Structures are given as structure tokens and as C-alpha cells.
Chains A and B, each alone.
Chain A
Amino acid sequence: MRLSNQPTSEATPNEPVKPSGGNLLVLEGLQTYIGQFHILQGLDLAVPEGAVTVLLGRNGAGKTTTLKTIMGLTPPRQGTITYRGESINGLTTYQIARQGIGYVPEDRGIFREMTVEENLLLAARGESRAGYRTHLANCLDLFPDMQRFLKQKAGTLSGGQQQMVAISRGLMTGNKLLLIDEPSKGLAPIVIKAVMDALEKLKRQVTILLVEQNFTMASTVGDYFYLIDDGHNITNGPMDQLVADTELTRKYLGVGFA
């Protein structure tokens, strides 16, 4: 099978502009099943380095499955996943994570029985004490509020606080790519704003593939978008283009009806 870090052009009509050094992650023709359900039906995707790519689509379009497939949690039956020019097909979840990919799941995946500090310490895999402190300082810079509840049991935190911990966890090992699944889900508007600001700051440090239903957040933070439906691509391109296309956003994202 051909391994390439370029997306197949016929499947992605509006190929994104590459800001620096090409694509960090490329998915080609992904077919993923969960049980008997055919979720991803030939999905193509390219995540340019140093930018935020937003994966959009209705409920059940396959956005979360895309992230899980990249992480090896629901391995694909067909198709290739290329990260930094090398195939990561067939690697197990922990091997994929060790390549430098962080995952912030939809339910945040917080270890509720541990303190926030322990959550972060666990995420700092293979880091020295000094390395841990550097990453922690970076996270506290991003989420100054976290200082207040570092010693608190993570299960007692509010949804927004848990989201801060979940995103910070992805930053504790110097990951190159963060997969973030619906960070705004279930959060109050003011908290969404805080998470959005943090993602804006985060953009300078790490490449992000973001799944987001909240169109305001998606359009503010995102540089590129991929619109998917029924497990395959509809269209993709720079975010400005999508914001301008009211017909498309109305049809697939329900924007403008509210």
C-alpha cells in the first residue's frame, strides 16, 4: 500500500493550505466498524502541522470514531493512517500515544479517584522531575485556575475544571498532536469561553485535531475544517470559507436555525 503524507486529491477537493512543513497526520480511505456497524466509510483527512483542524458533522457522522480510530481504540479494517510520514496502522493504543499523540476524549477520561496533581503526574510519562515541572508550569500558564484545585480529588471537580485537567494531561509529555473531542460539551457559556481562550493560546504550541459541535467555538479556534457525514468527507478547506458558506452550514450543521 502506498504510504504518503499527502491526501488523495480527488477525495479532498478543497485541499488545505499547508502553513509549515506539510501534514502531520494523514488518513486515507479509512473504513472502521464498531460491531456490525460500518461507521467510517472511506474517510480521508489531512491535518496540517501547526494549525487547528476542526472535524464537523452531525451526530453520528463518525467524528468521535475518527479520533478513536487514530488512537487505535477502534482500529480500522481498511485504509492507512500516516503520522509524521510513517504508517501507524496496526500499532496499539499505547504505542500510538508514544509517537507523540495526545487524546482528550469526549467524557474527558479523568481519573476520578486521583488528585489533579496525580492525574498530571501520570500523564507525564517518562518525564524527569524538571520536565514535569516545566510542563506543569506551562499548563498553569494556560489554565491559572488549576493552581487552586491541584490537590483536589479529580472526581469532585466541575465539568469545566475537569476539561482543563483533561487538556493539560495531553500537554504533559510534549505531544506534537492533540486530538480533542468536544471540549465544550456540557459546559456553561462562560466556561466555554475560557476553554476557547486556552485553545487559542495552545495553537502556538501544538497541532490540534478538534471535534466540535459548537460552531462559534469551531469557527473561532479552527484554521481548517473537514465536514463529514455518514463516515465520509463532504467537503473541506480553510475555516473562513465555511463561515462564508451559509447554505453548507445550514444543511449540515444546523447553523442559522437557532
Chain B
Amino acid sequence: MKVATRPGPPAFLRDPRLLTILSVVAGLILVLIYINTAIKFPTFVRFFINGLVESAVLFLVASGLSLIFGLMDVVNFAHGAVFTWGGFVFIWSFNLFSTSPAAAKDKTSPLAWMQMGLDPLPATLLALLIGLAVGALLGALIEILAIRRLYGRPVFQILLTLGLVLVLDESLRIAFSLNAPSYDLLSSPWPSGNFRITPDIAVNWKSIAIVIVGLVVFLSVFWLLNRSKVGLVIRGGVEDTQMVQALGYNVKRYFFGVFALGSALAALGGIAFTITSNGASEGMGQLNLLTAFVVVVIGGLGSFSGAAVGALLVGLITPFVGYHFQAIADSFVMILLVLVLLVRPQGLFGGKKY
């Protein structure tokens, strides 16, 4: 059978997985429009935007987890700790970068060079890079020192990464000399201010930026896994490690890369969460990790697109549920998990790797 090349959208857009995601999103929008009839339009839009931002943050944490837990089958509880570290490092470096040299209290500090009095935009971008780098570095260290010896041994992974959570959380307290469990941004990171859709409805620029970052991360990692050679090696390595090595690839290096990338995404999630909530707290990692695990399971283990859809479902519906049924707002995520698993035990996109 020969498939004739048809004119039309590029192959990338004709991917069945992408189409499924788009239809789920379209369905979701219809449901939301229905809910909209019950509440006033501006409130609806506010909720919707909040939901999108929450989805984006959730997706960032869940995407890293989807790579490490879903794809490589490593149960990594330290993912949440890396999330927290990302947020704290971001705040710390943002605060340093935006402090002007004149206002600096301790001019003899070895970090005095960082006090450049930058504008919020460059300070945010620089701090973002540092946060991501620290996330990737933590992931790299965890992989080299611990996980590398424990592939395929989930019980040991759980024990070890739970221990790592304690180590990382305590070292966070030491590194940031924390007395109180939270840490605040000294000024608002870019982009501050609002974008007015209509005179009644204003959307925070920060929110728009975070949603765009979430979308960009989704498209890039989707492309990496499904359209690039690196993705082939990773998927092959997950399926049959020995055979990929027999084809001449150093699988260890690729797994190491995936782990570092997943951890950088955890840190990015922490940074996004920090920006939306204007500060970071010690417990934020574990709290978000739990939801992220649920998102990954709802989406289907090993399915990256599933993690995106799961994050959208949880993030978008939660604010509306909270509005209409206050009582179950907190437990809603778990209710959704139970419902999805009842209908599809393998998760929405489960059974397909990547």
C-alpha cells in the first residue's frame, strides 16, 4: 500500500496524539463555556486564566516527572525537593541581581558582584537561568550518585529518594539560612502589570508568560521525544537497553541527560510557582509533587502528551469546582483520579510510551 502525499497541514500537525490533545482541549472549552452560563463572564475568564496558569505550573512539574517516572520508571520523590530548590534559587538570585550596588548592605560579600541593580526583566531572565542550571545540576548529581545503580529497582529508589528529600530540604534551610519556612521576592519579577482584554478583564502579564513557557516546553519536549534522533534513542533505551547499546549508543549518557532535563523542568515548575505566588515556602515542593504524580497517572504512565492533558484537566477544572462545590475543592484531584482510573485503568493515554 502506498500512501500518497497529500497537500495539507504538515505531518507534525497530523499526529494522532496531537489531534487527541486538541480535541480534549476543545471538549474542555465547551464544558467550561457551559459552566460559564452559571457565572458572570468576567469571573469566568478570570477563573479560566487562573486555571490555565495553574495547569502550566502543574504541567512543568508533571512533565519532568513524566520523563523520569513515566518514561524511565524511576520513582523519584526528590523531584519535589528540586522544585523547591528551583524556586528558592530563583528568588535568591533575582533579589541579588535586582539589588543596586549602592543599596547593598554587605559590600564585602563574595557575591557582591551579583548586586548589579538590574531591571526586573534581565534580573528575571538571569535568575531563571541560574534556577534551571541548579535544577539540572541537582538532577545530574542524583542520577550519578544514586539512581544510576538503582535502575529497575523501585523499592530502593523509593527509599533512597525519600532520604534525599530530607537531605535536600535540610540543605535548603542551611543554604538559605531559613528561620521562617518562606522566602519572598523583594520586588515583582517581570513581566509585571496587566494586559486588558476588555475594560473589565485584565490579565496579568506574568500569567501569560507562564502559559507561554508551558506551551513552549510541551512543544519542544514533544518534538524531542517524537521527532528527533535523541528521542528515538531514549524511547529505544526504555524498551530494550541492551539492543540500543548494541546499535552503538551510550545509553547511560542519554538517561543521564533525561534525568537532568526532567530535574531542570522541576526547577522551572518551582520558579513558575514562585512567580505566581510571589514567594516560596519549604513545603511547596512536596505539595505540588503529589498533584503532579496524580496528573502523570491520569495522563497515563509514560505518556508525555498524557501529562499535558492531565495537567490541563486538573488545572482548569479545579477553580470552577472550588467555586461551585467548596466542600470538595481540596479532594477534587483525588476524585478525578479515581474517576479516570475506573474508566481507563491505564490512564487517558496509557499503554503508549511517550
> Which of these binds chain A: B108-116, B138-146, B242-250?
B242-250
Q: A94-B249, A113-B352 are in contact. Are A121 and B229 (CB under 8 A)?
A: yes
A109, A111, A118 — which one has the most chain B CB atoms within 10 A of its CB? A111
Chain A 153-192, CB within 8 Å of chain B: the 1/0 string?
Answer: 0000000000000000100010000000000000000000
B239 within 8 A of A: yes
Our pick among A92, A121, A126, A148 for the contact of B245 (Cβ within 8 Å) is: A92
Chain A residues whose C-beta falls within 8 Å of the C-beta of B233 in the assembled complex: 122
In the bound complex, how far is the Cα of B237 from the Cα of A94, in angstroms? Answer: 12
Q: Is B245 within 8 A of A125, CB to CB?
A: no
A7 within 8 A of B: no
In the bound complex, how far is the Cα of B249 from the Cα of A122, in angstroms? Answer: 10
Our pick among B3, B235, B246, B247 for the contact of A113 (Cβ within 8 Å) is: B235
Our pick among B245, B247, B250, B354 for the contact of A122 (Cβ within 8 Å) is: B247
B232 within 8 A of A: yes
B1 within 8 A of A: yes
Instruction: Give residues 63-99 of A contacting B (CB, 8 Å).
Output: 71, 73, 92-94, 97-98
In the bound complex, how far is the Cα of B239 from the Cα of A118, in angstroms? Answer: 13
Chain B residues whose C-beta falls within 8 Å of the C-beta of A112 in the assembled complex: 239
Q: Is B245 within 8 A of A109, CB to CB?
A: no
How far is the CB of A145 from the nearest CB of chain B, in Å? Answer: 12
Q: A111-B236, A122-B233 are in contact. Are A97 and B242 (CB under 8 A)?
A: no
Q: Is A113 within 8 A of B242, CB to CB?
A: no
Our pick among A93, A94, A122 for the contact of B229 (Cβ within 8 Å) is: A122
Instruction: Give residues 249-268 of B contacting A (CB, 8 Å).
Output: 249-251
Q: Is A114 within 8 A of B246, CB to CB?
A: no
In the bound complex, how far is the Cα of B229 from the Cα of A118, in angstroms? Answer: 9
Instruction: Give residues 31-73 of A contacting B (CB, 8 Å).
Output: 71, 73
Q: A121-B229, A121-B232, A122-B229 are in contact. Are A113 and B239 (CB under 8 A)?
A: yes
Q: Is A125 within 8 A of B239, CB to CB?
A: no
Q: How many residue pairs bridge A and B at CB < 8 Å?
A: 60
Instruction: Give residues 1-47 of B contacting A (CB, 8 Å).
Output: 1, 3
In the bound complex, how far is the Cα of B232 from the Cα of A94, in angstroms? Answer: 16
Chain B residues whose C-beta falls within 8 Å of the C-beta of A93 in the assembled complex: 242, 245-246
Contact-size category for A = 20 to 34
Chain B residues whose C-beta falls within 8 Å of the C-beta of A92 in the assembled complex: 245, 250
| Residue ID in chain A nearest B247 by CB atoms | A123
Q: Is B236 within 8 A of A105, CB to CB?
A: no
Q: A111-B243, A114-B232, A121-B229 are in contact. Are A94 and B248 (CB under 8 A)?
A: yes
| Residue ID in chain A nearest B351 by CB atoms | A113
A224 within 8 A of B: no
B236, B243, B246, B251 — which one has the most chain A CB atoms within 10 A of its CB? B246
How far is the CB of A81 from the nearest CB of chain B, in Å? Answer: 15
A151 within 8 A of B: yes
A103 within 8 A of B: yes
Chain B 127-154, CB within 8 Å of chain A: the 1/0 string?
Answer: 0000000000000000000000000000
Chain B residues whose C-beta falls within 8 Å of the C-beta of A103 in the assembled complex: 246
B240 within 8 A of A: yes
In the bound complex, how far is the Cα of B244 from the Cα of A71, in angstroms? Answer: 12
Our pick among A109, A111, A126 for the contact of B246 (Cβ within 8 Å) is: A109
Chain B residues whose C-beta falls within 8 Å of the C-beta of A173 in the assembled complex: 248
In the bound complex, how far is the Cα of B242 from the Cα of A71, in angstroms? Answer: 10
Chain A residues whose C-beta falls within 8 Å of the C-beta of B354 in the assembled complex: 113
Chain B residues whose C-beta falls within 8 Å of the C-beta of A121 in the assembled complex: 229, 232
In the bound complex, how far is the Cα of B244 from the Cα of A109, in angstroms? Answer: 9
Q: A94-B249, A98-B248, A122-B229 are in contact. Are A105 and B243 (CB under 8 A)?
A: yes
Q: Is A111 within 8 A of B239, CB to CB?
A: yes
In the bound complex, how far is the Cα of B245 from the Cα of A121, in angstroms? Answer: 15
Q: Is B246 within 8 A of A97, CB to CB?
A: yes
Chain B residues whose C-beta falls within 8 Å of the C-beta of A113 in the assembled complex: 235, 239, 352-354
Q: Is B245 within 8 A of A94, CB to CB?
A: yes
In the bound complex, how far is the Cα of B247 from the Cα of A196, in angstroms? Answer: 23
Q: A113-B352, A121-B229, A148-B1 are in contact. Are A97 and B247 (CB under 8 A)?
A: yes
Chain A residues whose C-beta falls within 8 Å of the C-beta of B247 in the assembled complex: 94, 97, 122-123, 125, 169
| Residue ID in chain A nearest B248 by CB atoms | A97
Chain B residues whose C-beta falls within 8 Å of the C-beta of A125 in the assembled complex: 247-249
Chain B residues whose C-beta falls within 8 Å of the C-beta of A126 in the assembled complex: 248
How far is the CB of B282 from the nearest CB of chain A, in Å? Answer: 40
Chain A residues whose C-beta falls within 8 Å of the C-beta of B246 in the assembled complex: 71, 73, 93-94, 97, 103, 105, 109
| Residue ID in chain B nearest A150 by CB atoms | B3
In the bound complex, how far is the Cα of B235 from the Cα of A173, in angstroms? Answer: 20
| Residue ID in chain B nearest A121 by CB atoms | B232
How far is the CB of B102 from the nearest CB of chain A, in Å? Answer: 55
Chain A residues whose C-beta falls within 8 Å of the C-beta of B3 in the assembled complex: 151
Chain B 78-111, CB within 8 Å of chain A: the 1/0 string?
Answer: 0000000000000000000000000000000000
In the bound complex, how far is the Cα of B3 from the Cα of A118, in angstroms? Answer: 17
Our pick among B235, B242, B250, B251 for the contact of A114 (Cβ within 8 Å) is: B235
How far is the CB of A92 from the nearest CB of chain B, in Å? Answer: 7
| Residue ID in chain A nearest B250 by CB atoms | A94
In the bound complex, how far is the Cα of B243 from the Cα of A73, in angstroms? Answer: 10
List the interface of chain A (C-beta within 8 A of B).
71, 73, 92-94, 97-98, 103, 105, 109, 111-114, 118, 121-123, 125-126, 148, 151, 169, 173
Per CB-CB distance, the 7 closest pairs between chain A and chain B, nearest first, are A97-B248, A109-B243, A93-B245, A103-B246, A122-B232, A94-B245, A98-B248
* Further pairs besides A109-B240, A112-B239, A122-B247: 4, Cβ < 8 Å: A105-B246, A113-B353, A122-B244, A126-B248
